Amino acid sequence: MNELKAGDKAPSFTAKDQDGNAITLDQFRGKKVILYFYPKDDTPGCTTEACDFRDNYQSLKAKGMEVLGVSVDDEKSHQKFISKHSLPFTLLADTDKQIVEAYGVWGEKNMYGKKYMGTNRKTFIIDENGNIAHIINKVDTKNASQQVLEALA
């Protein structure tokens, strides 16, 4: 599969949110979408990143942005993560790995010398017309929302 780059059409998708509702990328037309991929609910780096988006959510919304988090965890896991950390945005359950594969973030990872397949942390900023405006490959979990704002500045 070709690697996505800025200017490409964002792959469309339908996935269930934390409440089991079907969410499509198309329903956010006219808004900028921060589509961020993270490995696992309630792990240290993922919690730091989610809480950074939470803490800056109002200023992102004020700039016409919608935040969508994606991991391969299921809805129940997302519900717990959201309620534990008061997350005000939608988390998508990509249990069949269709979105992570479409966006090229599913791949080989290495932890303590052990290789395994998993979600690579990456953020896509999608413009009002459904095109990829920016891709943040090296996400700073403590400053994820700041990286988005700088990419758009």
Length of the chain measured in residues: 153
CA-to-CA distance for 37 and 46, rounded, in angstroms?
9
CA-to-CA distance for 47 and 150, rounded, in angstroms?
22
Give the residue among 113, 45, 59 at the shortest CA–CA distance from 69. Answer: 45
DSSP letter assigned to residue 73? -
Contact 106, 97 (CB under 8 A): yes
CA-to-CA distance for 69 and 92, rounded, in angstroms?
6
Q: How many CB atoms lie within 10 A of CB 49?
A: 24
Among all residues, which ones are annotated catalytic? 46
Contact 118, 70 (CB under 8 A): no
